[in-house]
Amino acid sequence: METAEELKERLTTMQYRVTQESGTEPPFTGKYDKHFEEGNYNCIVCGTLLFKSEHKYECGCGWPGFWDKDGDIKEISDTSHGMTRTEVQCNNCNAHLGHVFNDGPEPTGIRYCINSASLDFKEK
Ligand SMILES: [Zn+2]
């Protein structure tokens, strides 16, 4: 594992804030919000596969939306900011990714709302 100092060197300020401090990038600003190439979305911190492009959809909320996961993702109850939400993290390195909601499309009915800053896209 890299130290916090090493991660700060390698990641952008936004990538560090999101993954290590559970931050949220401003909506409609992330580089994968309107990104629909074919490939894999890996964890920006550890490189673990998290999502595939076939499960990405245009959710219109300002962050990349996925209706299913393809990797090892941990779900944690998050009661910060006066809301009860489910936070999702990379199960390998505990990087914060975003949240999961129950308003996604069929067949899962769920929406992973993920920060672009926590993802590293690899073209197929
Ligand atoms: Zn990771």
Of residues 49, 48, 44, the one with CA closest to residue 15 = 44
Distance 1 CA to ligand 1 centre (A): 10
Looking at domain 4-123, does it have CATH number 3.30.465.10? no
Number of other CB atoms surrounding residue 124 within 10 Å: 8
Stretch 92-115: mean pLDDT, rounded? 97
**pLDDT tens digits, 108-120:** 999 999 999 999 9
pLDDT-derived band at 101 (thresholds 50, 70, 90) equals: very high
Dist CA 114 CA 63 (whole Å):
6
Q: Which two tokens stand for residue 41?
A: 């979305």
**pLDDT tens digits, 4-26:** 999 999 999 999 999 999 999 99
Q: What pLDDT, on a 0 to 100 scale, did the predictor assign at position 1?
A: 79
Q: What pLDDT, on a 0 to 100 scale, did the predictor assign at position 71?
A: 96
Distance 26 CA to ligand 1 centre (A): 21
